[in-house]
């Protein structure tokens, strides 16, 4: 079973970055936080969520932290707003002091962190009392259709070898996310689904990003020999017929969670 790779920002953008941008807009609309806050984006990747915060939430400043030097380099090149800065760092041991920011957000990251409980506890450490901690992850089990179709086809051809993110990433469920936030001592916790359309111009537009090597499904595909790759491609093409205009219309669902760090008195704001 191949492990996911996260290093090539351009390949990531073609694979899921473009859909993450749509989710990020709805996620921030749900948070509905005031202007002028200090934000931290954990697992900032190529800067998708950071750039959306800058465009829609009007922060005083925002710091992006990501373990991939390649992603940090690309984020710095793409997000030139002086309110933003990026650093290489671990979600479990954030390079910030206690009470350093007003908001901590994380997009499509927690299921890849080896110790998510430790990570969310550190989110709570760096946010101010009364501050918000929020994240979203793909619903791999059902709602992230582009990946659900891929893994269903891969499992049909090779049940023993295919890695199914819906089973492998048990964190991507509302009850688990709520428990994770509660265990970190956060209060006023709420979870909701966010769904956006993912329209592929053609089957090639759907398939080609899987060849980029970024993420679990592309890593699995890269581990196959060419005949097995071709068989998987052909099965998906048969299962995903285009509409009259040649497009393939799917949807993507993420689970979003938010909570508040309790104030010193034990109440939240």
Strands 186-200 and 84-88: unpaired
Share of the chain above pLDDT 90, in %: 70
Do the Cβ atoms of 37 and 232 come closer than 8 Å? no
Q: Report the 10 Å Cβ neighbour count for 183.
A: 12
| Residue 21 predicted with pLDDT over 60 | yes
Count the Cβ atoms, other than its own, within 10 Å of residue 95: 12
Give the least confident one: 2-16, 162-176, 182-196, 224-238.
2-16
- Give the pLDDT of residue 266: 46
User: Residue 7's closest CA among 77, 90, 69?
Assistant: 69
Rounded distance, CA 110 to CA 142, Å?
Answer: 18
Question: What does the pLDDT average to over 111-140?
Answer: 95
Bridge-based pairing of strands 84-88 and 101-107 is unpaired
Strands (E), the chain: 38-42, 61-66, 84-88, 101-107, 127-138, 186-200, 248-261
Of 157, 66, 160, the C-alpha closest to 108 is 66
DSSP readout, 20-37? HHHHHHHHHHHH-PPSS-
- What's the pLDDT tens digit per position in 183-233? 999 999 999 999 999 999 999 999 999 988 777 888 889 999 999 999 999
Nearest in space to 210 (alpha carbons), one of 221, 225, 199, 194: 221
Which of these, 42, 160, 59, 182, lies nearest to 112 by C-alpha position? 42
**pTM (two decimals):** 0.83
The whole-number pLDDT of residue 70 equals 87
Higher-pLDDT residue of 63, 17:
63
- In this prediction, residue 77 carries a pLDDT of 94
Average pLDDT over residues 92-118: 95
pLDDT band at 268 (very low <50, low <70, confident <90, very high): very low
């Amino acid at each position: 079973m191949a492990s996911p790779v996260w290093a090539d920002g351009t390949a990531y953008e073609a694979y899921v970055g473009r859909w993450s941008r749509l989710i990020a807009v709805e996620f921030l609309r749900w948070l509905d936080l005031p202007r002028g806050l200090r934000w931290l984006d954990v697992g900032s990747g190529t800067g998708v969520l950071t750039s959306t915060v800058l465009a829609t939430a009007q922060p005083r400043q925002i710091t992006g932290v990501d373990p991939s030097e390649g992603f940090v380099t690309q984020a710095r090149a793409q997000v030139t707003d002086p309110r933003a800065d990026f650093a290489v760092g671990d979600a479990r041991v954030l390079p910030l002091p206690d009470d350093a920011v007003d908001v901590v957000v994380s997009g499509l990251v927690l299921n890849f962190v080896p110790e998510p409980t430790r990570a969310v506890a550190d989110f709570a450490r760096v946010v101010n009392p009364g501050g918000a901690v929020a994240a979203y992850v793909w619903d791999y089990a059902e709602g992230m259709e582009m990946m659900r179709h891929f893994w269903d086809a891969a499992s049909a051809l090779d049940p023993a070898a295919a890695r199914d993110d819906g089973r492998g990433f048990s964190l991507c469920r509302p009850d688990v996310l709520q428990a994770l936030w509660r265990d970190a001592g956060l209060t006023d916790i709420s979870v909701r689904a966010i769904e956006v359309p993912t329209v592929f111009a053609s089957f090639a537009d759907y398939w080609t990003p899987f060849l980029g090597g970024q993420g679990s499904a592309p890593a699995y595909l890269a581990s196959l020999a060419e005949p097995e790759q071709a068989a998987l491609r052909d099965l998906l093409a048969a299962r995903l017929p285009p509409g009259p205009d040649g497009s393939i219309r799917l949807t993507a669902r993420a689970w979003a969670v938010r909570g508040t760090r309790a104030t010193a008195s034990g109440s939240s704001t």
